[in-house]
Amino acid sequence: MAFGVVGSPATLDPYSPVASDLTDELAVPVYPSLFRFDPHGHPHPYLAAAIKAIPGGVRVKLRIARWSDGHPVTAADVVRTWRRARSPSGLRR
């Protein structure tokens, strides 16, 4: 699939305060998420292998995944990304 855009985004960092809808469209395919949503809005596991409610939150088990440089995606990566996504960041997933 190919598509074109007019202009360029201020940033490709989806968690930047200057992130825009164009950032969202271009960067989301690059950053793995715990879940992806199908066209009907139903979540499907992506990085998450399982999720379980526990007192005070949830426990997420990650599937085995690697970054483009071959390093494993870890729970620390997920936590770091979640912390960056908190307000006042830009678009959040």
- Per-residue pLDDT tens digits for 31-51: 778 888 888 988 888 899 988
Measured between alpha carbons, how far is 81 from 12 in angstroms, rounded to an integer?
15
Q: What local confidence, expressed as pLDDT, does residue 18 receive?
A: 84
Q: Are β-strands 48-54 and 57-62 bridged in parallel, bridged antiparallel, or unpaired? A: antiparallel
Measured between alpha carbons, how far is 91 from 89 in angstroms, rounded to an integer?
7
DSSP state of 30: T
The answer to whether the CB of 63 falls within 8 A of the CB of 52 is no
Whole-model pTM: value is 0.64
- Per-residue pLDDT tens digits for 52-68: 899 998 899 999 999 88
